[in-house]
């Protein structure tokens, strides 16, 4: 576990003490909790069968899923989930454009993936990728983190993006096996872009604090 993520997790825990939000007992871990695709397996296989998931889009989905998985791991309110899903969609398009693969196909794939996570990522909160999957099943659901806790979750996302962007974490074989070899190469090309401020204007995309 990276010290930066342990520290960010500790801040989430500290900010939620005495509130109605209960965070996961441990920090999000790259190797354990990031599967490189936030969409259900059936949607992924269907998209590949139809030929809509090019290597460029596979890489874009994998990178966009980092922030999406972290937000689902820590969870929160229903509006936070809706925002996480929308940001997932927007980041797929942003990363695809960086690989010169934006346009109608990227819009189609990102919209399909947004719909899939929106439909299947919530109630009854029983799937491995459901909202709040960092918690035991009987503790999952919508809660109301304070504004401070929401900022701390955003800071965790930023810390994870920077770690992966500078190459501090190397993808493990179980993760790499989920995407084609060409997409793995393109994902490495995209990594440095995580060191830049996120292009999306959504408020939880990054912390509003300048630390």
35 pLDDT tier (thresholds 50, 70, 90): confident
Q: Is residue 179 part of a domain?
A: yes
Q: Is residue 161 part of a domain?
A: yes
Range of the domain at 114: 3-195
Query: In the prediction, which pLDDT does 209 show?
Result: 52
Token representation of residue 61:
């989905």
Q: Is residue 7 part of a domain?
A: yes
Give the helix/strand (H/E) hosting 207. none
102 pLDDT tier (thresholds 50, 70, 90): confident
CA gap 107, 92 in Å, rounded: 9
Q: Is residue 211 part of a domain?
A: no
pLDDT digits (tens, 9 = 90+) for 40-58: 777 777 877 777 789 999 9
Q: Is residue 208 part of a domain?
A: no
The domain total for the chain is 1
Q: Is residue 13 part of a domain?
A: yes
90 pLDDT tier (thresholds 50, 70, 90): very high
Query: In the prediction, which pLDDT does 197 show?
Result: 66
pLDDT digits (tens, 9 = 90+) for 104-115: 889 999 998 899
Query: In the prediction, which pLDDT does 175 show?
Result: 92
Contact 37, 65 (CB under 8 A): yes
In the chain the first and final C-alpha atoms are separated, in Å, by: 21
Give the helix/strand (H/E) hosting 57. helix 55-74
pTM over 0.85: yes
Contact 95, 190 (CB under 8 A): yes
Q: Is the model's pLDDT at 149 over the cut of 60?
A: yes
């Amino acid at each position: 576990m990276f010290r930066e993520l342990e520290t960010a997790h500790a801040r989430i825990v500290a900010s939620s003490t005495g509130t109605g939000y209960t965070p996961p007992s441990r920090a999000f871990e790259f190797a354990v909790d990031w599967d490189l695709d936030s969409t259900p397996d059936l949607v992924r296989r269907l998209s590949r069968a139809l030929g809509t998931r090019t290597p460029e889009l596979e890489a874009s989905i994998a990178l966009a899923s980092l922030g999406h998985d972290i937000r689902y791991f820590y969870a929160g309110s229903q509006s936070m989930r809706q925002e996480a899903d929308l940001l997932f969609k927007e980041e797929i398009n942003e990363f695809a454009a960086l690989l010169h693969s934006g346009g109608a196909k990227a819009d189609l794939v990102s919209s399909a993936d947004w719909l899939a996570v929106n439909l299947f990522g919530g109630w009854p909160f029983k799937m491995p990728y459901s909202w709040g999957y960092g918690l035991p099943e009987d503790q999952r659901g919508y809660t109301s983190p304070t504004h401070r806790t929401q900022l701390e979750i955003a800071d965790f996302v930023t810390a994870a993006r920077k770690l992966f962007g500078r190459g501090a974490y190397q993808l493990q074989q179980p993760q790499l096996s989920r995407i084609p070899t060409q997409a793995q190469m393109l994902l490495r090309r995209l990594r440095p872009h995580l060191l830049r401020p996120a292009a999306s204007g959504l408020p939880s995309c990054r912390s509003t604090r300048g630390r």
